[in-house]
Amino acid sequence: MSDKKQVSRRQFLNYTLTGVGGFMAAGMLAPMVRFAIDPVLKPSQEGELAPVTEMDKLSNEPQRFDWKIEQVDGWYESQVQKSAWVYLDENDEVVALSPICTHLGCTVNWASNEEYPNEFYCPCHGGRYEKSGNNVPNTPPTAPLPLYVHEVKDGMLYLGDAKSREKV
Ligand code: FES
């Protein structure tokens, strides 16, 4: 008779069921663990104010500024490009507009169409916005350009998230 240990049918079934059961339990627990530690997995800098430009570079004419923010999604880290059209209004208050057209998401430019020199113009479908970012009625966009949350600190302009505004 050999010394080899034989696995009985009962033991084999026990091992198999334990393995499959453990695998299924891990599958059910993983989303719960992820939910519990979710704050750790959220983007690290999204929504935080980022330094964009020195205040003395601003004028009454809209200028485009680009910057990058760090985004952490789980274990994946990436840099996201952000842009804004920024100017000082008649009261020297900062106006920082998102360049994303509220029609279908193309990028709008300031005074880029000779026919509308004092407006933001979207080349995709002829969308137009006043300097304030309000959409011109009877053009494709149905809402104003979103406005960035901003803060001025030590002569520096910081921008946060762009917030949608009421339809005109
Ligand atoms: S995407 Fe700007 S007008 Fe259509």
**Residue-level pLDDT at 19:** 86
How far apart are the C-alpha atoms of 73 and 62, rounded to whole Å? 33
For 24-73, how does the pLDDT look when each residue is reduced to its tens digit (9 = 90+)? 888 888 777 766 665 554 433 667 899 999 999 999 999 999 999 988 88
Residue with tokens 């002829």: 126
**Residue-level pLDDT at 46:** 64
- Side chain identity, residue 71: Q
**Residue-level pLDDT at 61:** 97
Cα–Cα nearest to 109, from 126, 125, 121:
121
Mutational pocket test of ligand 1: of 106, 107, 120, the residue with most ligand atoms within 8 Å of the beta carbon? 106
The residue whose CA has the least distance to atom 1 of ligand 1 is: 104
**Residue-level pLDDT at 44:** 39
- Side chain identity, residue 50: A
Indicate yes or no: pTM above 0.85: no
Tokens of 11: 């033991």
CA angle 7, 8, 12 (to 5 degrees): 75
Burial track 59-95 (b if 16+ CB lie within 10 A, e otherwise): eeebeebeeebeeeeeeeeeeeebbbbbbeeeeeebb
**Residue-level pLDDT at 43:** 39
Cα–Cα nearest to 159, from 141, 146, 168:
146
Would you give the distance in Å from CA 11 to the centre of its chain? 54
Which portions of the chain are predicted below pLDDT 70? 1-4, 34-46, 168
**Residue-level pLDDT at 67:** 95
Residue 23, classed as helix, strand or coil, is helix
Ligand 1 within 6 A of 104 CB?
yes
CA angle 122, 123, 125 (to 5 degrees): 85
**Residue-level pLDDT at 42:** 46
**Residue-level pLDDT at 75:** 85
Cα–Cα nearest to 146, from 116, 167, 121, 117:
167
Atom of ligand 1 nearest to the CA of 125: 3
Ligand 1 within 6 A of 99 CB?
no
